[in-house]
Amino acid sequence: MVKKIAVITGAGSGLGASLAKKYAEDGYHVCLLGRTEAKLERTTRDLSTEDHSIFTVDVSSKREVSQVFDKIKENLGTVDVLVNNAGVGVFDLAENLSEEAVHQMIDINLKGTIFCTQEVLADMKEKNSGSILNIVSTAGLAGKKTETVYCASKYGMRGFHESLLVELEETDIHVFGAYMGGMKTEFWDGIFDVSQATGLMEPEDVADIIFHNAKIRKNLNVDQVVIKNH
C-alpha cells in the first residue's frame, strides 16, 4: 500500500515540527521542508516513524521550490497534503523596517505559499483530492502595531487562501486556513522576553486543533479556524 504524502514547510521548529509529528502518527510519509538541515534533522528525532524525508529549500525561490517538488513526485509520489507553514517576521515601526526585511516577509510568507501551492494543484486537480493548509496567523485578520509589513504579507496570504477556496469550490480539494495567535516558538526569540513569552500558546496544542479541524470528513468542511491566546 502506497503511503499518503504530507509536505510541511517551515518544519524545522515550532508549529511545523508539531504538525509533522501529527501527520507521522497518522501514517503519512512526511516531507520536512526548511532552510536549515540541522533543524529539520532535529524534528525527525521526535517523529514516531522513520518514514520521512528532508529537503532544504528557500520557499521564496520558485526555482528551488520546483526542484524540490519534482524530487518528491519522482521519488515518493504525488502530494496528498501541503501545509504552507514557513514564515518570518521582523517587527518594528513601519519607517524603521529595512528593505531586506520587507522583501523577506513578502517573499517567504506570501510568495512562498503561492509557489508551493502552484506545485501541487495540477496533480490534486487530476486526482480530484488533496488538502492545502495555509497557516496564516491572526496577523491576517487585524492590523497590529510594529507589524505593518508582517500583517501585509499575511493579509496577502489570506487573500490567496480565500481566492483559492473559490477557485476550487467545484472540486473535492480541501483548502483550510488557520489564523492563530502567538506560540512559544523560536519565532519570538530576541523579540519577547521571558515574561511576555509565558502567555503564548503551546505549538502542540495549536497543531492538535489544526490537524483535527483540517481532516477530511464526509459531508463536512471546515475552511478556517481562529485560535487566540487567552
Write the DSSP symbol of residue 60. T
Round to whole Å and give the CA distance between 185 and 65: 25
Task: Please list the ranges in the chain whose pLDDT falls under 50.
Answer: 188
- Rounded to 5 degrees, what are φ and ψ at 220? -150, 140
Catalytic positions: 150
Q: Is 47 helix (H, G, I), strand (E, B) or coil?
A: coil
> What's the pLDDT tens digit per position in 37-58?
999 999 999 898 889 999 999 9
Residue pair 165/175 in contact (Cβ under 8 Å)? The answer is yes
Residue 203 belongs to domain spanning:
5-227
CB atoms within 10 A of CB 91: 17
The whole-number pLDDT of residue 174 equals: 95
- Looking at residue 226, its pLDDT comes to 92
Is there a contact between 68 and 55 (Cβ–Cβ < 8 Å)? yes
Query: What pTM value is reported for the model?
Result: 0.91
**Domains in the chain: how many in total?**
1
* Distance between CA atoms of residues 21 and 2, nearest Å: 19
Residue 120: Cβ within 10 Å count: 23
Neighbours of 36 (CB within 10 A): 11
- Give me the DSSP letters along 10-25: STTSHHHHHHHHHHHH
- Give the CATH number of the domain where residue 66 resides: 3.40.50.720
pLDDT at 218: 81
Residue range 144-187, pLDDT digits in tens: 999 999 999 999 999 999 999 999 999 999 999 999 987 655 55
pLDDT at 201: 75
Could you write out the DSSP letters of every residue in 135-174?
E--GGGTS--TT-HHHHHHHHHHHHHHHHHHHHTTTSS-E
Distance CA 179, CA 165 (A): 15
Residue 192 is predicted with a pLDDT of: 53
Cβ neighbours of residue 59 under 8 Å, at least 6 residues apart? 9, 33, 65, 86, 108, 111, 112, 113, 115, 116
